[in-house]
Structure 1
Amino acid sequence: MKALSGLSVQVKQYLIITGNYWAFTLTDGALRMLVVLYFYQLGYSPLNIALLFLLYEIFGVITNLVGGWLGARIGLNKTMNIGLALQIIALAMLLVPSSFLTVAYVMVAQALSGIAKDLNKMSAKSAIKLLVPAGQSGKLYQWVALLTGSKNTLKGIGFFLGGVLLTWLGFTGAIALMAAMLTIVWLFSLFKLQADLGKAKYQPKFKEILSKSRAINLLSAARLFLFAARDVWFVVALPVFLAAEFAWSHSGVSGFIAGWIVLYGLMQTLAPKLTKKPANKAPTGRDAAIWGAILVVVPGAMALALQGDFSAKWVVITGLMVFAILFAINSSLHSFLIVDMAGKDGVSLDVGFYYMANACGRLLGTVLSGWIFQLYGLVACLYISAIFIALAVLFAGLIKPGSGNLTEQSTAIN
């Protein structure tokens, strides 16, 4: 308690935001698994399940683009509280009889959840830029990796929680419990989040939501294809494949995917050590391209193995573990690069634009995951994943060394 009382007001505010982010992440991961497994249980096709998340991803794109501008104008504490409130409303919308849970209705609820998720993520990721002094890129990389890794570890736990709650409490009971818990977090946040963390000194105009930095545009394109490469086989295709081909239970599917995400999160926290560079040297776009080139081998090799005489279970499980490690390193490198290149004043503008591209990638991957899997199976999804990673490598490799803080420089000039 003494240590906490000695922290600055700004750091305390950031810690509360991080705690909110973690709590939200648990419900977001659990909700994703609940929806996939419950509607598969009801007989929905993989494509229809993918469509349930269509507005979730579309509004994630819009939210990141507009939310970054909004955070710069009103403060990240307010965008965080708005996000928590919207997630509670989204959960409450699902507390209706199953006859009302049509595709269109659930899509609307998921749209609110998508807005909420990206307001929370943008707020937390933007805030970290304000706590690390300029010129300490190594420390910034460690903080970003720790935040991102811990978040994904909790998301993995959320996936497992979703499957367990579906088995124990049923769909409605699970949703009600999560809504109640998140309401407590939201009320605490309303009273404790006071500082306008991240509010820009100048009032950015709406037209400034688009990035003017070549480096950030290239990194955003790389991020888009990196996450499309993951979600094209992970979001819908993989859970349905595990349930249909391996006859795994709800708890088995959610537990396995949860374990994967926990491993992914832990590897993200270790990324600074695994990609360690000489003192005072920060990762560059070239590093992201090199690690991406290594990653592209995994889905390609998995697709070839599944077409051969290898055991499907061995290929999928082993391939997933290797993919988790390499994807985590790539994701951490990208996350560091955007925070490093973003300007401090109005940081959420750059971070919001970047995560808008991230949401576009998730949208593309989610739709293709259901569509391609339904028509051609998991192997086709894996080949598309390899192609997308190759495109991410291309864009990351075009980022020139020393591009950090370009936006901050241009802001100072303007």
Structure 2
Amino acid sequence: MGLLSLNKLSPQIKQYLVITGNYWAFTLTDGALRMLVVLYFHHLGYSPLNIAMLFLFYEIFGVVTNLVGGWLGARLGLNKTMNIGLGLQIVALAMLAVPAEMLTVLYVMFAQALSGIAKDLNKMSAKSAIKLLVPAGAEGKLYQWVAILTGSKNTLKGVGFFLGGLLLTLLDFKGAIILMASLLAIVWLFSLFTLKEDLGKTKHKPKFKEVFSKSSAINILSAARMFLFGARDVWFVVALPVFLAVTFDWDHWWVGGFMASWVIGYGIVQSLAPYFTGKQQGKVPTGRAAFLWASYLTFIPAAIALALHFDFYVQTSIIVGLLIFGAVFAINSSLHSYLIVSYADGESVSLDVGFYYMANAMGRLIGTVLSGVVFQFYGLEACLWISAAFVAIAALLSIKLPTNTSYNA
């Protein structure tokens, strides 16, 4: 019965399901790997700054990959860039399945570089493909599909965080890595035979200089995205998990569980973002919505920082405050994800989306480095003040975004 139902689906829906399945599988390993690396190397005695450095190449190569990946997607097809991403993640995981004495900072940085390339090839391919699978002019459906893909991905990333903490406890670092690499290899083989070869491949071969967007709306949105994600990662990547482990004396299970719950809730809200931003009134978001929601978000990390400064129910303030931050941030992120796909040119969608996610990766890079440096020398409170400042900049940039997007529900 299930197979018969699948056969009745349109080719577009089938491709969407394959792309989403690939994205889900990749995201599980990506989230688990991040938590494994943070907790394992903290356990080995690495400082917050050293842990942040482990992700430095991951983020740097994410910037480069998004810039080049959109160009490759337009020339080769999004199926190839997605499958290359899956394959590289398997190689990155295999590199970490070595004896513990080989896991030097530099070696892990190189393995993480491959993982960063893989992640952003996969993300760019998935987000670009949606634009091609939704009929032109169906902005409401486009927003809904983007929200579902983005939200479900982040929910599974949260599950991956929990999985990372669980696997580290049950199988140790090496065993967890081998298991994830084996399962992802099965997904990769399935993907090789099911994704359409011409998906996203342009008729003309774009020159490399075309990776830089000529659209002012995309440039502004990209700058806002950079500060938005820098605002998240400045406390999320290193500062928060180490703070929870050291200050509250939480073990791997508790740290992984809290981070997982945060990202799962974040993903659920992302999926539901259309209902918070006017879907029931027959509206899709405009640049004004991006400005308003970023403005709301600005006050949350500032409030948590004040609670820390005045020692006001610190544990409760951090847990509740960051859950609220996650919900509002999720709506901001979903709005941005829709706007970039909407603004992107249909003929060169992967170029525009790749440029935008290059800015996203730059924000993650800035946030990751600051998370280790600022937390080590100034603490979590300083990280949160920087977060508030970054969100405020994102809000100010969003004022200049177009305000005339509309559709008929």
Q: Which runs of 5+ in 1 are unaligned?
A: 405-414
Shift of 1:403: 6.9
Paired residue type of 1:185: V
1:60 aligns to what?
A: 62
Instruction: Describe the superposition over 1:34-74 as per-residue Cα deviations: whole angstroms up to 9, x where unpaired.
Output: 00000000000000000000000000000000000100111
Q: Does 1:199 align with 2:201?
A: yes
Find the aligned partners of 1:34 and 1:400 in 2 and give their Cα distance.
41
Shift of 1:159: 0.2
1:227 aligns to what?
A: 229
Residues 215, 403 of structure 1: 8 Å contact kept? no
Q: Does the C-alpha gap of structure 1 residues 248 and 208 become closer, same or farther in structure 2, counting only changes over 3 Å?
A: same
Q: Does the C-alpha gap of structure 1 residues 3 and 345 become closer, same or farther in structure 2, counting only changes over 3 Å?
A: farther
Which of these residues, 307, 312, 321, is aligned with residue 319 of structure 1?
321
The more displaced of 306-315 and 370-379 is: 306-315
Shift of 1:321: 1.0
1:179 aligns to what?
A: 181
Instruction: Describe the superposition over 1:360-386 as per-residue Cα deviations: whole angstroms up to 9, x where unpaired.
Output: 000000000000000000000000000
Which of these residues, 292, 307, 324, is aligned with residue 309 of structure 2?
307
Shift of 1:7: 2.5
The more displaced of 280-289 and 352-361 is: 280-289
Paired residue type of 2:23: Y
Shift of 1:140: 1.1
1:410 aligns to what?
A: none
Find the aligned partners of 1:278 and 1:235 in 2 and give their Cα distance.
35
Q: What is the DSSP-based 3-state SS (H/G/I as helix, E as strand, rest coil) of the residue aligned with 1:130?
A: helix
Q: What is the DSSP-based 3-state SS (H/G/I as helix, E as strand, rest coil) of the residue aligned with 2:347?
A: coil
Which of these residues, 2, 18, 37, is aligned with residue 35 of structure 1?
37
Paired residue type of 2:321: G
Which of these residues, 48, 56, 64, is aligned with residue 46 of structure 1?
48
Residues 277, 284 of structure 2: 8 Å contact kept? no
1:348 aligns to what?
A: 350
Shift of 1:191: 1.9
1:120 aligns to what?
A: 122
1:21 aligns to what?
A: 23
The more displaced of 255-264 and 9-18 is: 9-18
Residues 13, 195 of structure 1: 8 Å contact kept? no
Q: Does 1:298 align with 2:300?
A: yes
Taking the TM superposition and a 5 Å limit, the aligned residue runs for 1:24-173 are: 24-173=26-175
Residues 226, 389 of structure 1: 8 Å contact kept? yes
Residues 61, 357 of structure 1: 8 Å contact kept? yes
Find the aligned partners of 2:17 and 2:348 in 1 and give their Cα distance.
20
Query: Share of identical aligned residues, percent?
Result: 70
Residues 10, 195 of structure 1: 8 Å contact kept? no
Find the aligned partners of 1:270 and 1:282 in 2 and give their Cα distance.
13
Q: Does the C-alpha gap of structure 1 residues 87 and 371 become closer, same or farther in structure 2, counting only changes over 3 Å?
A: same
Taking the TM superposition and a 5 Å limit, the aligned residue runs for 1:383-394 are: 383-394=385-396
Paired residue type of 2:324: V
2:340 aligns to what?
A: 338
1:400 aligns to what?
A: 402
Shift of 1:195: 2.9
Q: Does 1:357 align with 2:359?
A: yes
Residues paired across the two proteins, number: 404
Taking the TM superposition and a 5 Å limit, the aligned residue runs for 1:247-326 are: 247-276=249-278, 279-326=281-328
1:244 aligns to what?
A: 246
Instruction: Describe the superposition over 1:170-221 as per-residue Cα deviations: whole angstroms up to 9, x where unpaired.
Output: 0000000000000111111112223321111221111100000000000000
Paired residue type of 2:118: A
Paired residue type of 2:84: I
Find the aligned partners of 1:197 and 1:14 in 2 and give their Cα distance.
11
Residues 341, 403 of structure 1: 8 Å contact kept? no
Paired residue type of 2:225: R
Find the aligned partners of 2:65 and 2:122 in 1 and give their Cα distance.
10
1:409 aligns to what?
A: none
Residues 80, 197 of structure 2: 8 Å contact kept? no
Q: What is the DSSP-based 3-state SS (H/G/I as helix, E as strand, rest coil) of the residue aligned with 2:9?
A: coil
Shift of 1:2: 2.3
Q: What's the TM-score, normalizing by structure 1? A: 0.96
Q: Which runs of 5+ in 2 are unaligned?
A: none
